[in-house]
Amino acid sequence: MTSELSRSQLLDRRGFLADFSTGLSGIALASLLGEEKLLAADTAKRTPIRPAIDPASPYAPRDSHFPAKAKNVIVIFCSGACSHLDTFDYKPELIKRHGQPMPGSEKLITFQGSQGNLTQSPWEFKPRGESGKMISELVPQIGGMADDICFVHSVTGKTNTHGPGENFMSTGFTLDGFPSMGAWVTYGLGSENRDLPAYVAIPDPRGTPQSSVNNWGPGFLPAAFQGTDFNASKPIRNLARPDTVDEKTDRATRDFLKTLNDRYQDRFPGDTELAARVASYELAAKMQLSVPEVSDLSSEPDHILKLYGADDTANSLKAAFARNCILARRLVEKGVRFVQLFNGAYQTGGEGVSNWDGHKSLAAQYAKHGPVLDQPTAGLLRDLKQRGLLKDTLVVWCTEFGRMPTFQAGASGRDHNPSGFTTWLAGAGVKAPFTYGATDEFGYKAVENVATVYDFHATILHLLGLDHQRLSFYHNGIERRLTDVHGHVIKDVLA
């Protein structure tokens, strides 16, 4: 067969030397381009990544895409749309033009109708810390921590309605049925603790936010990654053993069930659904001991209770939220990956009295909400810092959207405003003190370094060592992400 080949098809000595020299030239060129970082990016590294998860151990810790600055996250979510203009976004022009119409707002119609005049905050803003950051007297103790906080004043949303707004901030989508931030994080990274849930949601003592469990739901991710909701005063439902069963019998029953489960699982090797179900039962059994222990605050010394305001007998709501903040700290101490802490609850017909929805009487409502939020949140930051936990923990403060610089026509409160509002970050991996972005002179629209909720989410994932473009889950023919097809890391806020 070889003898029948034409000589032109065979490689002669001259051709071999020519090809060899060309190959060496190509290698040399590739080396030079590589050193100068001029080669095209490795596309394999940019493709979506679904972490390899053992169904029998869904919470086992997993490697991040790159070295992480933060190991865990505490999100403080102010439900009801806390006004940036009465807390963290100082606007001298709003004070100067108080009582005047906002320029260009003659035909402006917002969520609840037409607008009245520009209205300054009922609370004075004062310089805080060595940075001199102007923060409202509504939250003076958080203001005292200004030098440890990175403020983002230019966040924008996609909706002016509470439920979809909470969904968007918690899941990246306005519709129900999408995975929450915490579900994505625990799907990507797992947990450092085998006896507690990887993701815990701590509802406000008064109840759940308006979008309820959507805020901590798994969406289309496996159910193992949903948040487990409980707080310092309300334990997990159906967790405690019945009074008629003693501890010894309860432990023996659990051991016997484990033996049966292990034998049954051995009969069906490779059945991932069965393995996942057994893993969830075993975690539930472990939580019978671990959850009561971590939520029992009786071991906390008096000075810690005082730091958070948990000893405030005159303000029961503040004391209850303070206990939830202490619980959040105890959870991250135990290695829980993601804790979502809610301030404010939804009550039908409540006119915002249980959350930050200050439409009709903002001054009276916020005078109640401010003290509930302020000292416990500041206490949490101080406590994390003094224990050295702030180096590894990212604290996130957010709300679903902002408020208008005007009062509503015929009312004494501010309407919904997703066009520009404030969030902040503290702790692992962020610059502090630092301010990023700005709204216009009245606080109506983001105008400088405009950021989206997608950017905010991408930045949080980045601090955890996760590339938001590479963390995905295949669902209904689409590689889904927390940030959909959007989002950029806000690099300026990174330390």
Q: What is the dihedral of CA 333, 336, 342, 343, to 10 degrees?
A: 0
Decide if 59 is inside a domain.
no
Q: Are residues 17 and 154 in the same domain?
A: no
Domain of residue 31 covers 2-39
Q: How many domains does the chain have?
A: 2
Are 100 and 236 found together in one domain? yes
Task: With respect to residue 65, please indicate whether it lies within any of the assigned structural domains.
Answer: no
Asked whether residue 129 is domain-assigned, the answer is yes
pLDDT category at 108 given cuts 50, 70, 90 is confident
Residue 66 lies in a domain: no
Question: What's residue 12's pLDDT?
Answer: 62
Higher pLDDT: 23 or 50? It is 50
Q: Are 485 and 172 in contact (CB under 8 A)?
A: no
Q: Which residue has the higher pLDDT, 5 or 47?
A: 47
pLDDT-derived band at 246, boundaries 50, 70, 90: confident
Tell me which DSSP letter residue 168 carries.
H
Same domain, 32 and 88: no
For residues 102 and 34, membership in a common domain is answered with no
Q: What is the pLDDT of residues 148-165, one digit of tens each?
A: 999 999 999 999 999 999
Residues 29, 163, single domain; the answer is no
Is 63 within the bounds of a domain?
no
DSSP state string for 442-453: TSSSEEES-EEH
Beta-bridge partner residues of 74: 339, 395
- pTM recorded for the entire structure: 0.85
Hey, how many other C-beta atoms are within 10 angstroms of the C-beta on 363? 14
Q: What is the pLDDT of residue 421?
A: 98
Q: For the chain, what percent of residues have pLDDT higher than 90?
A: 68
For 11-28, letters b (16+ CB in 10 Å) and e give eeeeeeeeeeeeeeeeee
Specify whether 289 is located in the same domain as 340.
Answer: yes
Comparing 71-85, 226-240, 357-371, the range with the smallest average pLDDT is 226-240
Compute the distance between CA of residue 238 and CA of residue 7 in angstroms, rounded to an integer: 84
| Residues 330, 332, 333, 335, CA torsion sign | positive
Structure token digits, residue 328: 């959040």
Residue 255 lies in a domain: yes
45 located within any domain: no
Q: Which of 121, 181, 153, 146 is nearest to 466 (CA)?
A: 181
Same domain? For 29 and 131 the reply is no
Higher local confidence (pLDDT), 279 or 363: 363
In the structure, what pLDDT confidence band is assigned to residue 5 with cuts at 50, 70 and 90? Answer: very low
The pLDDT of residue 17 is 56
- Asked if residue 388 and residue 249 are part of one domain, the reply reads yes
Is residue 55 in some structural domain?
no
Q: Are residues 77 and 18 in the same domain?
A: no
Give 387's DSSP letter.
T
SS3 at position 459: helix
Co-location of 111 and 153 in the same domain:
yes
Q: Tens digit of pLDDT for each residue in 312-371?
A: 999 999 999 999 999 999 999 999 999 999 999 987 544 446 899 999 899 999 999 999
Domain check: are 231 and 357 in the same one? yes
Confidence band of 250 (pLDDT split at 50, 70, 90): confident
The answer, yes or no, to whether residue 219 has pLDDT greater than 90, is yes
Which residue, among 427, 336, 425, 337, has the nearest Cα to 389 in the 3D structure?
Answer: 427
Share of the chain above pLDDT 70, in %: 84
Q: Name the DSSP class of 315.
A: -
Check: CB of residue 136 under 8 Å from CB of residue 143. Answer: yes
Same domain? For 403 and 447 the reply is: yes
Task: Provide the angle, in degrees to the nearest 10, between the axes of the packed helices 362-386 and 316-333.
Answer: 30
Give dist(CA 226, CA 489) in Å, integer.
Answer: 25
Where residue 150 sits, what CATH number does that domain have? Answer: 3.40.720
- Model confidence pLDDT, tens digit, residues 24-52: 555 555 555 444 444 444 444 555 588 98
User: What does the pLDDT read at residue 354?
Assistant: 86
